[in-house]
Amino acid sequence: MDNGNPNFDKYKEVFKNLTHCENVETPYDVVSIIISYDSTRAICILKESDVKSCIMQYDLDMIEKPTFTEDFIGTYIKMQEVE
């Protein structure tokens, strides 16, 4: 098994546990997710149907339920990205 470039072996501890992974159950299909600049919140675009989408914000420390929800309903809604 290839362990990568041996020149970086002495730095491997620096790169351990840099990320945290968590599965979250959402009520609708996920279109897009961004993480806030301070890494405390996840802002999600969710799509229920062609006529209903919503934005949900999750606190990454208490991820069980959203801290903010806003529904968008219309004849045809297309949401793609949050900035």
**Interval 2-45: pLDDT, tens:** 567 888 888 878 878 887 777 888 889 999 999 999 989 999 99
Please state whether the predicted TM-score (pTM) of the whole model is above 0.95.
no
Q: What is the C-alpha R_g of the chain? A: 18
What amino acid occupies position 23?
N
Quote the DSSP letter at residue 1. -
The rounded distance, in Å, linking the Cα atoms of 67 and 81 is 19
